[in-house]
Structure formats: structure tokens, C-alpha cells
Amino acid sequence: MLFYLVAAIVLILDQTTKWIVRTHMELGEILPSWSPHMRFEYYENSGAAFSSFQGYGKYFAIVAVVFVAVILYYRRQGAIRGPLLEAASGFLVGGAVGNGIDRVIYHQVTDFLVFGSRGGIMNLADLAINAGGILILVYLLLDYFRPKTARGRL
């Protein structure tokens, strides 16, 4: 259940914030934030991370579908269990679906979060994917250092 809850929350927040940006900001517009280390900048990315592979975003929609199918398959097989992996996979799937929706409907992904003076521009789906990756690393580290009799129970 945690998997579906996290994925749904990520997807709803991601699509809502992207809709707000698309309807209330002009492309290229920059807004300051409460933090000197972050700003809002409306950007449409037709590629992948760090604006690489511009114009090939539609292929990443296919990758997202395959990725989500693999996660669902492994969940069904029981390979993804425990709250840490459930949350991690929920973040990953929610982020992949959020960006996948953008790629299918708009043929590009709406980005608007810039961290630092030279930071990359991203959105909530990207942050969720990063959070999912970090949670998987935490799981792997905890599992590695856990006694062998208790492994796989996180």
C-alpha cells in the first residue's frame, strides 16, 4: 500500500506544480524564492537529464513505461518488500510516470526548480527519482551491515 500511496502523491504533486508553472509563468521567466540557493525558472526540456539528448524525449517515455513495468513485475514477484523498498519504488515510479505524462502529452518535460547558481533545472518528478535512488542506496547499505540472519527484512 505504501508503494501506491507514495507514487500517487508524487504524481499528483508533480503534475499540479507543472500545471501551475505552465499556466502562471512565461517560458524563461525567473522568480526568486525564499532561499538564496534556489529559484524558479520555467523551462521546457525536450531531452533528458541536464538537457542532454534534446529532441529525443519521446523515446524516454518508452523507457519510463518499461521501467514502471519492471518495477510492477518485481513487486508482484515479491522481490520488492519492506517499507524502505516500497517507498523507494513508489518515488521512482511516481517520478517516471510524472515525466512520462509530460513527454507523451507535451513532447517535453516542464522543469522549474534551480538549486545553486549553476545547478541543473528540474521538477518534482526528478526530485522524487533522486529520493528513490537514495532510499535504495540506504536500503543496500543497511542490508549489507545487517546480520545475515536478518537480511532482506527492511
Reply yes or no on whether 111 is catalytic. Answer: yes
Structural domain tally of the chain?
A: 1
pLDDT for the residue 57: 62
Backbone φ and ψ for 15, nearest 5 degrees, come out as -70, -35
Rounded to an integer, what distance in angstroms lies between the CA atom of residue 32 and that of residue 27? 15
Establish how many alpha carbons lie within 13 A of residue 74's alpha carbon, considering only the half-sphere containing its beta carbon. 14
Phi and psi based region of residue 125 (left: phi greater than 0; alpha: psi -120 to 50; beta: remaining): alpha
Q: 46: closest CA among 105, 110, 98?
A: 110
Reply yes or no on whether 143 is catalytic. Answer: no
Rounded to an integer, what distance in angstroms lies between the CA atom of residue 132 and that of residue 75? 15
Q: Identify each DSSP E strand in the chain by its residue range.
A: 30-32, 38-45, 109-115, 121-122
**pLDDT exceeds 70 at position 154:** no
pTM of the model: 0.86
Domain that includes residue 82, residue range: 2-47+55-150
pLDDT for the residue 133: 96
Average pLDDT score over residue span 119-127: 91
Average pLDDT score over residue span 50-71: 75
